[in-house]
Amino acid sequence: MAAKKTSIPHHVMVIDTNRCVGCWSCAIACKQVNNEPLGYFWNRVLTTAPNQSTTAKAPASNNMDVPWGTYPDCELAYLPVACQQCNDAPCVKVCPVQATFRRDDGTVLIDYNRCIGCRYCMAACPYGVRIFNWGDSNYAPGGVVGYGKEYSTEDRLVFTPERPKGVVEKCTFCVERIDVGELPFCVEACPLGARIFGDLNDPDSQVSKLVNNGGGEQLHPELGTDPNVYYLPVARRVPGES
Amino acid sequence: MATTTAAIPVRATRSYRPIWAWYAALVVLMAWGLAAWIDELRYGLAATGMRDVVSWGMYIFTFAFFIGLSAGGLIMASSAEVFGIKALKPLSRLGVLSAAACVAVAALMIIPDLGQPFRVGNIFIHPNWTSPLIWDILIITVYFVFSIVDLYVLQRHAAEPSRWKTVARVMAYVGLPTAILLHSVTAWIFGLQIARSWWNTSLMAPLFVVSAVLSGTALVTLLALCAQRFGKVELSQETRKWLRGFIVISLFVDLFFVGADYITVLWGNVPADRSALNLVLPGGPWAWLFWIEWIVGGVIPLAFLLVPRLKKMPGALGLAAFLVIVGVYAFRIELVVLGFVNPLTQFPPGNAVGTYNVQTSSFQLIGRYHPTWVELGIVIGLVALFAALITIGYRALHVMEPSPAAGHRHARMPAETKASS
């Protein structure tokens, strides 16, 4: 059991869509902590319907916050989407230079010093969560916000407050925070507690319970990418909850 | 007699003055391309029309197109040897030359597409063998080296047929599978991706091989016709017949494959697949690609190749070959861009595009793409480079001189034979 405690955690995020009200606080918090420039969103809140399969039918409207259906039978739900941190990640498989890699805790990261900017990972990602630095980005006026330092893990530069032109960037699960025991910033920022973060290797953790018995579902499970982000559907049967 | 003597000075001006004008024009276009690339290096890929939803554009579909074009020459040269098609042997060296030039230009097309072009060495330092891209770079290198060696062997074979016969034969037998592998691996860059249902079909590799044979044969036909127009060669009726046959059969197979894919999507009616196909079918925003592919690059060339009255028209073969190439280019655009236009996860507001303009949203649900002048400039510059490589190679290597295998009057200009006799 002592060995268990020192073993590498398996980081997982669970998002309770029943609690999400579509306020975009997580997206804004993400922009803040990672100093994301104008027009960049590592984290987005998509408008869906409750229990809507992600591929079943066309969206109700091209605009956000528009409910599905005809009045009075309207329904509305939200799907916050950032990098799904797949265990079998297509982006890791296609990267020609191993710039995108998966750490043993399940986090998929990008080495900003190695990326050649071929954007094959963007073509391979089913979730559309990868952002490319097309040109000189419009960073926030008045200097860097958020974490503000470079962060390296396994000798690879996985976070820098201003990403160089011509590399791909994306959600890092706030690797610089989780490595020192803090929560990802979107989890901290969610005003409704819809985001839960933890260690799947620990059977007593809240995420383990939600993933194993709580009805946690992955996005596009049919693709076999095995994401480390789970969603709790709006309508669900959970043992112990009625 | 009077006509023959008059023909000689005309000939002389034709072969010298226009060629320098031609080279000058190509140099201007290449300089334009270089200037465009310098511009892109300064501003980054923001200078292109690509953004986060449609993240591959003109460079990639032109790359795939040039990879396809490189097939025809080598497959034709190898088929001439492997299947003993005598009428195609005079085109062997021209074919291999075009294969080498096309694959070199295709490889260069990737460089401006990179966000960090000066880190390209990472491909060799840290290769990831699960990436189809690495395998494609490997096969492109092999194919280029092979084409150059093959060109040398064929050159020696033309000079000393008896000594180089076996080597030329072995090269032909190796060349055919190498060409097929090149197109398959390039197809798998797209075909293996689960994220894009538009690409994710096992038909992709066969489709790439057949459209490569189609466009490549059409290119060699065009080059041979140009050689006939400006150089000292003449294509025999037999050679024309074989070229026409290659184009017709591969065009039929190509349209059959594309049609079979459409039928599968239409009948299955899976929303993700249908929404991509609807974009290109008549009525959709990309329907112009459908018309170019099926009418301009399909029905019209077939008419010019098969209808007896049209077939006899002068220039029918050249026109058909040109239209076929246009059609295949439209297919490449359709393949690459539509895979992106219609992303798998499609809920409002969509993907952030990475730029902010006051009038428009920073998000796109359905991707949009228009190439910019920078992209056009670089592509045109590289096409000019291709033309220059072909012209220099053609003139330096005399690739269309009469080869011993040709029993016809293939490579001799009638006026010259008359003048000498």
pLDDT in tens, A78-111: 999 999 999 999 999 999 999 999 999 999 999 9
Q: What pLDDT does residue B2 have?
A: 40
Q: A133 near B44, Cβ under 8 Å?
A: yes
Query: Does residue B47 lie in a domain region?
Result: yes
**Phi, psi torsion values for A145, nearest 5 degrees:** -115, 165
Looking at the domain covering A2-232, what would its CATH class be?
alpha beta
Whether B11 is in a domain gets the answer no
- Domain edges within chain A: 2-232
The answer to whether position B71 is within a domain reads yes
Q: Is the dihedral of CA B186, B192, B194, B200 positive or negative?
A: positive
Cβ of B44 within 8 Å of Cβ of A57? The answer is: no
Instruction: Answer yes or no: is B9 within a domain.
Output: no
Residue B420 has pLDDT above 50, yes or no: no
Q: How many domains does chain B have?
A: 1
Write the burial class of residue A2 (CB in 10 Å: 0-12 exposed, 13-18 middle, 19+ buried): exposed
Give me the pLDDT at residue B81, please: 87
In a domain, B5, yes or no: no
- Pairwise CB contact (< 8 Å): B119 & A116: yes
Whether A21 has its CB under 8 Å from any CB of chain B: the answer is no
Neighbours of B221 (CB within 10 A): 27
Q: Which chain B residue lies closest to A219 (C-alpha atoms)? A: B345
Q: Which residues of A touch B119 (CB under 8 A)?
A: 97, 114-117
In DSSP terms, B147 is beta-bridged to: none
Residues of A in contact with B115 (CB under 8 A): 115-119, 132-133, 165-168
Q: Can you give the pLDDT at residue B25?
A: 96
CA B226 – CA A16 distance, rounded (Å): 67
**Chain B nearest-CA residue for A55:** B272
Domain that holds residue B300: 25-420
Q: Does residue B416 carry a pLDDT above 80? A: no
Query: Is A48 in contact with B56 (Cβ distance < 8 A)?
Result: no
Give pLDDT, residue A3: 45
Q: What is the pLDDT of residues B162-221, one digit of tens each?
A: 999 999 999 999 999 999 999 999 999 999 999 999 999 999 999 999 999 999 999 999
Q: Max Cα separation, chain A?
A: 58
Q: What is the dihedral of CA B380, B386, B387, B388, to 10 degrees?
A: 110
Partners of A46 on chain B (C-beta within 8 Å) are 345, 347-349
If you count DSSP H runs as helices and E runs as strands, how many of each does chain B have, helices first?
15, 2
Across the range B353-379, mean pLDDT stands at: 90
* Amino acid making up residue A64: M
Neighbours of A22 (CB within 10 A): 16
Pairing of strands A195-199, A168-169: unpaired
Q: Residue B406 is part of a domain; what is its CATH number?
A: 1.20.1630.10
Of B115, B116, B131, Cβ closest to residue A94: B131
Q: Which of B131, B196, B349 sits opposite A64 (nearest CB)?
A: B349
Specify if B2 maps to a domain. Answer: no
Confidence of residue A1 (pLDDT cuts 50, 70, 90): very low
Measured CA distances, A214 to A53, A201, A211, A235 (Å): 18, 16, 6, 12
Q: Can you tell me which residue has the tokens 């080296």?
A: B145
pLDDT > 50? residue B114: yes
Asked if B340 reaches chain A (Cβ–Cβ under 8 Å), the answer is: yes
* B39: in domain: yes
Tens-place pLDDT, residues B122-145: 999 999 999 999 999 999 999 999
- At A44 the three-state DSSP class reads strand
Using the Cβ of B49 and the Cβ atoms of chain A, whether some distance falls under 8 Å is answered with no
With an 8 Å Cβ cutoff, are B189 and A39 in contact? Answer: no
Please identify among residues 83-102 of chain A the ones whose CB lies closer than 8 Å to any CB of chain B: 90, 93-99
Indicate whether B388 belongs to any domain.
yes
The whole-angstrom separation of Cα B251 and Cα B331 is: 12
pLDDT digits (tens, 9 = 90+) for A194-213: 999 999 999 999 999 999 98
